[in-house]
Structure 1
Amino acid sequence: MSVKSTAVGGSPAKSRAASRGRSKNRSGDGPEFVQLLTPEGERVEHSEYAVDLTPQELRGLYRDMVLTRRFDGEAVTLQRQGELGLWASLLGQEAAQIGSGRATRHDDYVFPTYREHGVAWTRDVDPLNLLGMFRGVNNGGWDPNENNFHLYTIVIGSQTLHATGYAMGVAKDGADSAVLAYFGDGASSQGDVAEAFTFAAVYNAPVVFFCQNNQWAISEPTERQSRVPIYQRAAGYGFPGVRVDGNDVLAVLAVTRAALDHARSGQGPMLVEAFTYRMGAHTTTDDPTRYRSDEEREEWAGKDPIARLKAYLDREGLADEAFYAEVGAESDALAKRVREGVRGMPDPEPMAIFEHAYADGHALVDEERARFAEYQASFEDTTAGTGR
Structure 2
Amino acid sequence: MASWLPGADESGFGADNLPYGIFSRPGDAPRVGVRIGDFVLDLAAALGDPEFFASSLIPFMARGSTAWRATRAKVGGMLTAGAPQATVRPHLLPLDSVTLWAPFEVADYIDFSCSLEHATNLGQILRPDSAGLPANWRHLPVAHHGRSGTVVASGTEVTRPYGQLRAPGETYPRFGPSTSLDLGAALGFVVGAPTPLGRPVPVSEFAEHVFGVVLVNDWRAHDVQAWESGPLGPFLATSFATSISPWVVPLDALGAARFAGRQQAPLPMPHLRRVADWGLDIALEVRLNGEVVSRPPYAAVYWTPDQMLAHLTSNGAALRSGDLYASGTVSGARPDQRGSLLELSWGGAEPVGLTDGSTRSFLADGDTVTLSGWARGMAGGAISLGEVVGTVRAVA
Which of the five TM-score ranges fits, normalised by the shorter chain? Answer: under 0.3
The structure where helix makes up a greater share of residues is 1
Looking at secondary structure, tell me which structure has more strand per residue. 2
